[in-house]
Amino acid sequence: MKLCRHGEPGSERPGIVDHDGAIRDLSSIVGDIDAAALAPDRLRAIAAVDLTQLPVVAAGTRLGTPVAGTRQFIAVGLNYSDHAHEAGMPIPAEPILFTKGVSCIHGPNDPVVIPRGSVKTDWEVELGVVIGSTASYVAEADALAHVAGYCVINDLSEREYQLERGGTWDKGKGCPTFGPIGPWLVTADEVGDPQALDMWLDVNGVRAQTGSTATMIFDVAFLVSYISRFMTLLPGDIITTGTPPGVGMGEKPPRFLKAGDVVTLGIDRLGAQRQDVTGG
């Protein structure tokens, strides 16, 4: 299934994509695409619904983030060896973890706002993992059973804040609008192997990133298991799993986003995003 949330910011309603690609309103079935809706039994109930009986959402309606009420937005750094190389950093022996403020979560096609004083706002296409059931100290072999589905994330980053201003990476990762998610939450059964997804990102129509989740250093099952040793993962939590090479920081000379730029990105089977860049 492809689940989504549609409507104006703060007033989004649950939706589902039918076999013809139209969005159907799910409000008569679930209150929202939230922790309760992501439970395995609720997903099975949604999958059994006759979508032809649900109202069609008008084409062009804004899409919000496909998950409501996320409490933890956890990120993995340098999870592709070629990205670590372009960043001039060693390949990590264990996953590098940081958090993105949940206040940065943003609709997939909403404008990205460059923070005040920013000089190094950068892009990163990433696979997002949405937790469906509580995970604490889970074995790697059982980890994917706790995943409700997957989504596209642009892990926007302010590199000066992240790397040159002291402290942890969090400082450059949670600025407002720095977490576009969606367009869909695609359930795990429809995605299949999360380590076989092609990914791409363009800036102003020019390809910047091309990669595949097959080249992750730490795969999704390992990450869910590993993170669950250090914190309890809750339904609706999102893990963004790292980016392949091609970020602006790695270009020679480095290139960063400016007002007027357009970023488009996508992942095989998970859909695509488009963001107009403003501010600065």
Q: What amino acid is encoded at 54 in this protein?
A: L
pLDDT at 82 over 90: no
Residue with tokens 């949940």: 102
**What percent of the chain is predicted at pLDDT more than 90?**
94
Give, as one character, the DSSP assignment of residue 59: T
pTM for the full predicted model: 0.96
Q: Which two tokens stand for residue 260?
A: 């007027």
pLDDT-derived band at 135 (thresholds 50, 70, 90) equals: very high
Residue 258 near residue 197, CB atoms below 8 Å: no
Question: What's the pLDDT at 166?
Answer: 87
Q: How far apart are CA 152 and CA 162, in angstroms?
A: 22
Residues 6+ apart with CB under 8 A from 103: 174, 176
Q: Are strands 271-279 and 112-114 parallel, antiparallel or unpaired?
A: parallel
Query: In 72-155, where do the E strands start and end?
Result: 73-77, 96-99, 105-106, 112-114, 121-122, 125-131, 147-154
Q: How far apart are CA 9 and CA 231, in angstroms?
A: 30
31-79 confidence digits (pLDDT tens): 999 999 999 999 999 999 999 999 999 999 999 999 999 999 999 999 9
- Arithmetic mean of pLDDT over the chain: 96
**Mean per-residue pLDDT, 242-257:** 95
Tell me the HSE value of 94 on the side-chain side, using a 13 A CA sphere: 7
Q: Which two tokens stand for residue 207?
A: 């390809």
What is 201-241 written as a DSSP string?
EEETTEEEEEEEGGGBSS-HHHHHHHHTTTS-B-TT-EEE-
Residue with tokens 């609709």: 107
pLDDT-derived band at 87 (thresholds 50, 70, 90) equals: confident
Q: Which two tokens stand for residue 276?
A: 């107009």
Residue with tokens 């076999």: 19
Domains of the chain by start residue, with CATH: 68-279 (3.90.850.10)
